[in-house]
Chains A and B, each alone.
Chain A
Amino acid sequence: MSTATATYDEHHEHGPDKGLIRWITTTNHKDIGTLYLVFALIMFFIGGAMAMVIRAELFQPGMQLVDPQFFNSMTTVHALVMIFGAVMPAFTGLANWLIPMMIGAPDMALPRMNNLSFWILPFAFTLLLSTFFMDGGGPAGGWTLYPPLALQMGDGFPFMIFAIHLAGISSIMGSINVIVTILNMRAPGMTLMKMPLFVWTWLITAYLLIATMPVLAGAVTMLLTDKFAGTSFFNAAGGGDPVMYQHIFWFFGHPEVYILILPAFGIISAIVPTFARKPLFGYSSMVYATASIAFLSFIVWAHHMFTVGMPVVGELFFMYATMMIAVPTGVKVFNWVSTMWKGAMTFETPMLFAIGFIMMFTIGGFSGLMLAIAPADFQYHDTYFVVAHFHYVLVTGAIYSIMAATYYWLPKWTGNMYDERLGKIHFWLSTISVNVLFFPQHFLGLAGMPRRIPDYSVQFADWNMVSSIGGFVFGASQLLFLWMVIKAIRGGEKASDQVWEGANGLEWTLPSPPPYHSFTEAPAIK
């Protein structure tokens, strides 16, 4: 194993540049982490605004606010922005901030590439959002971009494809950086099986990204040539196969689901032990469970496609493989509960969000298990039941973990404690409203409401109205989060180095806020 101590030179001692140029030219992992997190927050509010349009149109039956085409582009771009613009960059931002501090390194291994991989993103999403102002409007064929529908998009089509290419390039570069950093820059004594789980989950996530992003890039490039070069990859009339696109897409898409949740597992595995004041239960089984989930994620993709008409043997295989995922996921949940068991718990905001995560992510896991049962999926598929399912795992899963991480590490990053009262209000408002928002969607789906429709029959009116009210309150509650972050950056009670009584790990040995370069000398590992 190599060490991080070797190259110490005078040049590294200077602080950041002043003003805007600092942020454009920075190669510092903390600055880039901050850029990623701020970018993700902006995208979270843009994607959230689109969700508000969706819920406002669905507030009651009849068409009141937007035309159906614009509604479809809202659902499509909401998903693209939230997945590729909010959740993934937020996790990359956390990786940038935390991985060097957690493994005792001075910075990320490839700092210039780090800068590039961030600065691609604003361009990618400007391209994507600019399609709204082009003839034909934004993408409206769903975030999965199924042909032939996706090919009916107007002038914005190539811009959307290039935006996805750029976001993918950014993710791949970010992942290479994470892998190289983790494998080469750990402090002496920081063996793989001593790494914090956040580092482990990110290492596995990075491999998933490198394996699947090129697959997505290939799929959307084939869409591009189908549209402009007459290649007919996915056009049955030209000898192609529209279902093949779905296979390729979901070969990316299912690992992507775990890309969006594995780092969350790492975050929760850091927070629960801190506030239970007890070591994480079953560390090595957590590592193996993460690796198992990552492996299984590659062989379950067609469970998104049970209704496309696969041979029954294929349906059985994908049903069994999908059900198996419940085992390692269950192990994780059991380990977290065992970590809490006989601890000495306190319930500061990060812990509240972590507990919220465990409970509501598990609810999303239950509905996922139900969806795995192929015959039942013939009813659930493409209904609001699915919408409820993936929002439980993405909003109260991935996004709750990002919120928990922000509350947990913000005092370390800024040197200031956040406003605990504000944090608790934010948690309770969010948690009540998010359940009012998404839980009734299970009922809607089971009762027969398809997803991605701008108008619906009157018997669905009541639950849609309940869901919309929950949506508006949840949306508004996030302004409290924004205010809390701004307040903590601007000042507040000074945080100690340790910050949390039960916190363990190298990042807590650094001052709050940490120096511009994290560990210029390798720390001693116990």
Chain B
Amino acid sequence: MLALVTGPVLADWGLLNMREGVTSTSHAVHDLHMIILWVCVAIGIVVFGAMIYAMFRHRKSKGSVAAQFHESTTMEVIWTIIPIMILVSMAIPATKTLLAMEDTGEADMTIKVTGIQWKWKYDYIDGEAAGISFISSLHPDHNSARLLGASRDTDVLRKQFGDTYLREVDNPLVIPTGKKVRFLFTAADVIHSWWVPDLGWKKDAIPGFVNESWTRVDKPGIYRGKCAELCGKDHGFMPIVVVAMASDDYEAWVAQQKGSAEQAAAAADKTWSKEDLIARGQDVYRTNCAACHQVNGKGLPPAFPALAGNAILNDGDASRHIETVMNGRPGTAMAAYRGLLNDVDLAAVITYERNTWGNDGGVVQPADIKVAR
């Protein structure tokens, strides 16, 4: 037991307290946290000290005889006024920090963040990266390690993933250092909350709303976080990774992203073979669909219906299938993938679903999706 208690303490003091983080906001928040913590500790010492003193000195077994005093307006006034003064002195720095945190003006660039069960979508709205858009989900290796019964041993997880277990994504968010980045938050289905402790705050992503926040990271590095608002079954498995890059690296990353976007556009114009679509569709399915409909296509009825043997998928006319995937099913957990996946990925995943688990529903080409849009 003692080893258990002292173990983590010796291992890492940083695991006991709030992280200082890497932004001016996170430093200000950390300072506020430390002030209020020490204020509480000081009050605690006085109050608990008095209690403990009384418990040892004023006990019957020590022959203490009870006094009969039972009120004092002076005392009541004193212990009303002093806490109010302490609170006011706390409120002043807290107000200053809050006002600075909420000032999203004069940003250098804007990124829109959309929470989706259970991944994040990032759209670069303006600046040199304008138009870049991608989805960021839990890394596939972590996704298989977190399945029920997959890993029974902490040491195995530690060896395989180090400190990043469940904190690694396929496509991290990349931001430039030294720039004020404004974030816009919204959600496609339920409420999520975007939280990277090193940036110093979290903000809810709410369907139908746009929230704002900002950060400026000066030190290049990888900063990790998680969804903080319960958002359904896989709430625990939608991490956030922010990579802050110096401007050269950032520009190279932007160029590379734009290049692959062009390739994707070209890919949407050609006719694909069934095998290529299925191969690509499998990856898309694993990342986007398998959480609910399961890798084996059996789903988790009734909330998440089976795709294996599903009539809509085996119909010679694929239009209902395309319609469901693109627009979702209102009133159910089925999300609209129209804005989340490109034409190729939509065609690939639909073709994959129509030709796997015994289904036989034919091929859907990116051109068919373009028509459906």
Contact = CB atoms under 8 A, between A and B. Distances in A.
Interface of A: 60-64, 66-69, 72, 135-136, 140-142, 146, 148-149, 151-152, 154-155, 227, 235-237, 241-243, 276-285, 307-309, 312, 315-316, 319-320, 323-324, 326-327, 330-331, 333-334, 337-347, 355, 358-359, 362-363, 366-367, 369-370, 373-376, 378-379, 381-383, 443, 446-448, 450-463, 465-466, 469, 502
Contacts of A72: 230, 232-233, 235
Nearest to B99: A312
Contact of A340 (B32, B55, B197): B55
A378 B33 contact: no
A326 B29 contact: no
Contact of A337 (B51, B94, B164): B51
Interface stretch (B16-24, B126-134, B258-266, B348-356): B16-24
Contacts of B44: 362-363, 366
B200 A343 contact: no
Taking residues whose C-beta sits less than 8 angstroms from the other chain, chain B's interface range is: 35 or more
- The binding surface of chain A is classed by DSSP as helix
A280 B70 contact: yes
Nearest to B167: A457
Interface of B: 1, 4-5, 7-8, 11-12, 14-19, 26, 28-29, 32-33, 36-37, 40, 43-44, 47-48, 50-51, 54-55, 58-61, 64-72, 75-76, 79-80, 83-84, 87, 90-91, 94-95, 97-99, 101-102, 145-154, 157-158, 161-167, 185, 189-191, 193, 195, 197, 200-204, 206-209, 211-212, 225-237, 300-303, 330-333
Most buried by A among B28, B99, B229: B229
B8 A463 contact: yes
A510 B262 CA distance: 88
A469 B4 contact: yes
For B70, B161, B193, the residue with the greatest tally of chain A CB atoms inside 10 Å of its CB is: B70
Contacts of B15: 443, 447, 459-460, 463
29 contacts: A61-B154, A62-B150, A62-B157, A69-B233, A69-B300, A152-B190, A236-B207, A243-B209, A278-B67, A281-B71, A282-B70, A284-B71, A285-B71, A307-B201, A307-B203, A327-B83, A331-B76, A340-B55, A342-B67, A344-B60, A344-B64, A345-B60, A369-B36, A373-B94, A379-B29, A447-B18, A457-B165, A457-B167, A462-B4
A169 B333 CA distance: 32
A343 B227 contact: no
Given A62-B153, A284-B71, A327-B87, A379 B204 contact: no
Contact of A330 (B14, B61, B83): B83
A344 B66 CA distance: 5
A457 B166 contact: yes
Given A149-B230, A345-B64, A446-B16, A376 B166 contact: no
A243 B330 CA distance: 20
B162 to A, nearest CB: 8
A32 B372 CA distance: 65
A324 B91 CA distance: 11
In the A-B complex, the 7 residue pairs with the smallest Cβ-Cβ separation, listed nearest first, are: A236-B208, A453-B236, A309-B211, A462-B8, A378-B201, A366-B40, A62-B151
A376 B235 contact: no
Contact of A343 (B54, B79, B162, B303): B54
Given A281-B71, A376-B32, A448 B54 contact: no
A103 B248 CA distance: 78
B17 to A, nearest CB: 6
Contacts of A374: 94, 98
Nearest to A385: B18
Contacts of A458: 154, 157-158, 161-163, 165
B51 A340 contact: yes
A60 B75 CA distance: 50
B76 A382 contact: no
Contacts of A460: 15
Contact of A453 (B8, B70, B202, B235): B235
Given A63-B149, A376-B36, 5 more contacts: A281-B72, A334-B47, A340-B54, A347-B55, A450-B226
